[in-house]
A and B are shown apart, each in its own frame.
Chain A
Amino acid sequence: MTRTKPIHLGVHFPGVNNTTVWSDPGSGSQIEFSSFEHLARRAEAAKLDFFFLAEGLRLREHKGRIHDLDVVGRPDTLPVLAALAAVTDRIGLAGTINTTFNEPWELARQFATLDVLSGGRAAWNLVTSSDAFTGANFRRGGYLQYDDRYARAGEVVEVARALWDSWDDDAVLGDPSSAAFLRPGAVRRVDHHGRFVDAVGEFTTPRGPQGHPVLFQAGDSSDGREFAARAADVVFSAHATYDDGRAFYDDVKGRLAAYGRDRDSLKILPAVTVTLGATAAEAEERARHIRRQQVSGPTAIAFLEQVWGRDLEAYDPDGPLPDVEPDVDGASITRGRVRHVRDPLAVARAWREQAAANRWSIRDLVIAVTTRGGFVGTPEAVAADIERHVHEDAADGFILVPHLTPGGLDDVFDQVVPLLQERGSFRREYAGTTLRDHLGLARPAVARPVDAGVAELVG
Chain B
Amino acid sequence: MSAPSTASARRRGPLVHLGVDLTDAGAHPAAWRASGSRPERVFDAARLTELVARAQSGLLDFVALDDAFTLQPRSGGVRGRLDAALVAARLAPRSAGIGLVATVDTTHTEPFHVSKAIATIDHVSQGRAGWQVAWSTSDAAAAAFGRKPPQSEADAIEEADEAAHVIARLWDSWEDDAEIRDVATGRFVDREKLHYVDHEGIRFAVKGPSITPRPPQGRPPVVVPVTGDDALRLAASRADVARVQAATAEEAGELRDRLRSAAQDAERDPDELRVLVDANVVLGADEPTARARFELLQDLDDARWDGSLAHVGTAHTLTSTVEEWVRAGAADGFVLRPASLATDLDAVVAHTVPALQRLGLFRTAYPGTTLRDTLGLARPANVFATSA
**Chain A residues proximal to chain B, CB less than 8 Å:** 22-23, 31-33, 37, 56-59, 65-66, 68-76, 78-80, 82-83, 85-87, 101-103, 105-106, 109-110, 113-114, 116-117, 119, 136-139, 141, 167, 171-176, 179-182, 187, 193, 197-206, 296-299, 458-459
Contact = CB atoms under 8 A, between A and B. Distances in A.
A4 to B, nearest CB: 35
Given A181-B39, A198-B143, 9 more contacts: A31-B213, A82-B90, A86-B91, A109-B69, A139-B204, A172-B40, A180-B76, A202-B70, A205-B80
Contacts of B204: 138-139
28 contacts: A33-B124, A56-B211, A69-B188, A72-B188, A76-B117, A76-B119, A78-B89, A80-B120, A80-B124, A83-B90, A85-B90, A86-B92, A105-B144, A106-B145, A113-B86, A114-B86, A138-B204, A174-B42, A175-B39, A176-B33, A176-B37, A180-B76, A182-B79, A198-B146, A199-B146, A200-B144, A201-B70, A201-B71
B98 to A, nearest CB: 14
Given A86-B93, A105-B69, A199-B145, A299 B113 contact: no
A174 B386 CA distance: 56
A193 to B, nearest CB: 8
Interface in B77-94: 77-83, 85-94
A174 B41 CA distance: 9
B387 interface: no
B71 A79 contact: no
A171 to B, nearest CB: 8
Contact of A75 (B109, B140, B212): B212
B146 A174 contact: no
Q: Is the interface of A mostly helix, strand, loop or mixed?
A: loop
Nearest to A167: B80
Interface centre among B74, B76, B190 (most CB of A within 10 A): B74
Contacts of A298: 185-187
A124 to B, nearest CB: 13
B120 A76 contact: yes
B363 interface: no
Interface of B: 32-34, 37-40, 42-43, 45, 49, 68-71, 74, 76-83, 85-94, 108-110, 112-113, 116-117, 119-121, 123-124, 126, 140, 143-147, 174, 179, 181, 183, 185-191, 194, 203-209, 211-213, 300-301
A181 B32 contact: yes
Given A37-B93, A109-B83, A22 B181 contact: yes
B42 to A, nearest CB: 7
Contacts of B212: 31, 73-76
A22 B90 contact: no
Nearest to A139: B204
Contacts of A171: 80
Contacts of B301: 179
Contacts of A458: 71, 74
A105 B207 contact: no
Contacts of B206: 136-138
Contacts of A116: 43, 45, 82
A202 B205 CA distance: 31
B49 A86 contact: yes
A83 B85 CA distance: 11
A59 B211 contact: yes
B109 A65 contact: no
A23 B186 CA distance: 8
A179 B76 contact: yes
Given A68-B187, A174-B40, A199-B144, A117 B119 contact: no
B121 A79 contact: yes
Given A58-B207, A114-B86, A176-B33, A101 B189 contact: no
Nearest to B111: A139
A106 B204 CA distance: 19
Contacts of A200: 143-144, 146
A393 to B, nearest CB: 37
Contact of A203 (B71, B146, B181, B190): B71
Contact of B80 (A59, A117, A206): A206
B90 A137 contact: no
Contacts of B39: 172-176, 181
Contact of B186 (A58, A59, A69, A136): A69
A206 B207 contact: no
Contacts of A172: 39-40, 42-43, 80
Nearest to A84: B93
Nearest to A25: B183
A136 B110 CA distance: 12
Contacts of B140: 201-202
Contacts of B80: 167, 171-172, 181-182, 204-206
Contact of A176 (B32, B74, B209): B32
Given A76-B117, A109-B83, A68 B188 contact: yes
A83 B211 contact: no
Contacts of B117: 76, 78-79
A269 to B, nearest CB: 25
A69 B181 CA distance: 9
8 closest A-B pairs by beta carbon, nearest first, are: A198-B146, A174-B39, A79-B89, A136-B207, A82-B89, A76-B120, A113-B83, A75-B120
A337 to B, nearest CB: 13
A113 B102 CA distance: 14
Given A86-B45, A117-B90, A201 B207 contact: no
Given A59-B211, A79-B86, A106 B108 contact: yes
Contacts of A65: 191
Contacts of A23: 181, 183, 186
Contacts of B86: 78-79, 82, 110, 113-114, 117
A198 B142 CA distance: 10
Given A68-B191, A103-B108, A79 B124 contact: yes
